[in-house]
Amino acid sequence: MKKVYKKLVQLLSAGENVVLATIFHSAGSAPRSAGAKMIICADGSIIGTVGGGRVEAETIELAKKVQTKRQSVIQPFDLTGSDAAGLGMICGGTGEILLDYLDAANDDNRLIYEAILTTMDKAQKAWLMTEVTAQTVAGQTRQQCLVKKDGTIIGNFQGEPAFLEKMSSGPAKISIHADAHEDRSFIVEPIRTTGVVYLFGAGHVSQQIAKLTDMVGFITVVIDDRPAFANRERFPQSEVMVVEHFECMPELAIDQDSYLVIVTRGHLHDQTVLEQALQTNAGYIGMIGSKKKRDNLFKSLQEKGVSSANLQRVYSPIGIDIYAETPEEIAVSIAAELIKARAEREKCVAQG
């Protein structure tokens, strides 16, 4: 997402008007891909994606009209069958897309997205509020602002300060959602570094972990070499990768916001995954198993030249010790450790 925001700032700074498409949902639970973004440039080229397929094609076509009329619109969609599966939707494959016209001549547009990048770089929290009501307020039909946790407002917003205070000081919501104030409607999008959890192994424990990581705001990617286990039916809210083998780390976009969870079947591929993981700058590396199994594996890696200091990065046995036994309990202990690791990283980044 940060790459899309960076490109958006570059285009606006260069004087190019663009349309920013964002998937959202206004009726409670959101589609799995809610928050997905795509920039449509004046020449029809795109940056990012809203899922491909028919929805994306129709969005690109509608963006041409938005560019001509210079006015933002909301487009509903209702997908079933293969269309819904292709977009990775749950909740019946319904939702809406905001096609937001961003005029490069309006400095607020650039300043808002520059502030979003700063917020993400500093691991701070903020909310992007975009008015979707057609009525004119204070002479303007489009209002958008970034509300920071401390109440700082960047951009254009006309309304009661109490409403903005509610959005910035209330419970942190982790998914994009619609909100309303009197007869005005807004799309409210939390801005924060969510982190990506990579689950290596698609067994019963992973299935339970994925439910929780999605619930607490992580993007979750499940990786396995067995299509019968790594599929959308078993992991409806996650990205799923079926690989030929577990030597796949170079294919992944691993960075400090990545959380690697090693839970391969029968620990068969744990060393293969861990050896690759230790060559990355992942913010978290965790491996399931007993202390004896860990020590034997560490000894094997040290004989291959892996340093003790590097091995100390590994959380193993994985999870906070709550005497967990069942897959569900183990998942709770692992999810709790991931939440703690993310919070500690955010605190560290925020303190500089």
DSSP letters for 97-121? EEEEEE-TT-HHHHHHHHHHHHHHH
Reported confidence tier of residue 172, pLDDT bands at 50, 70, 90: very low
Q: Tell whether 303 and 205 lie within a shared domain.
A: yes
Q: Which residues pair with 74 in a beta bridge?
A: 98
Q: Tell whether 214 and 106 lie within a shared domain.
A: no
Reported confidence tier of residue 33, pLDDT bands at 50, 70, 90: low
Q: Tell whether 111 and 218 lie within a shared domain.
A: no
pLDDT for the residue 95: 77
Contact 215, 68 (CB under 8 A): no
pLDDT for the residue 280: 94
Measure the CA–CA gap between 292 and 82, rounded to whole angstroms: 46
- Taking 3-state DSSP, the helix, strand and coil percentages for the chain, each rounded to the nearest 5, stand at 35, 25, 40
Domain boundary, last residue among 175, 191, 207: 191
Nearest residue to 21 via CA among 29, 115, 58, 108: 58
Q: Tell whether 94 and 213 lie within a shared domain.
A: no
Percent of the chain with pLDDT strictly greater than 70: 84
Least confident of 104-108, 195-199, 247-251: 247-251
pLDDT for the residue 340: 94
pLDDT for the residue 265: 87
Q: Tell whether 163 and 210 lie within a shared domain.
A: no
Q: Tell whether 105 and 55 lie within a shared domain.
A: yes
Nearest residue to 154 via CA among 99, 109, 102, 104: 109
pLDDT for the residue 79: 62
CA 179 to chain centroid: 20
Domain boundary, last residue among 138, 171, 191: 191
Q: Tell me the pLDDT tens digit for each residue of 178-188.
A: 777 777 778 88
Q: Tell me the pLDDT tens digit for each residue of 131-156.
A: 876 554 444 557 888 888 777 889 88
Residue 208, classed as helix, strand or coil, is helix
Q: Tell whether 324 and 287 lie within a shared domain.
A: yes
Q: Tell whether 24 and 158 lie within a shared domain.
A: yes
pLDDT for the residue 350: 61
R_g of the chain computed on alpha carbons: 22
Range of the domain at 258: 196-350
Q: Tell whether 174 and 207 lie within a shared domain.
A: no
Number of domains in the chain: 2
Q: Which residues pair with 177 in a beta bridge?
A: 188
CATH number at residue 346: 3.40.50.720
Q: Tell whether 186 and 296 lie within a shared domain.
A: no
- Return the structure tokens found at 292: 């004896």
Q: Tell me the pLDDT tens digit for each residue of 116-135.
A: 998 888 777 888 988 876 55
For 89-93, what is the mean pLDDT? Answer: 46
Q: Tell whether 209 and 285 lie within a shared domain.
A: yes
Least confident of 63-72, 136-145, 152-161, 294-303: 136-145
Mean pLDDT of the chain: 83
Q: Tell me the pLDDT tens digit for each residue of 255-266.
A: 888 999 999 987
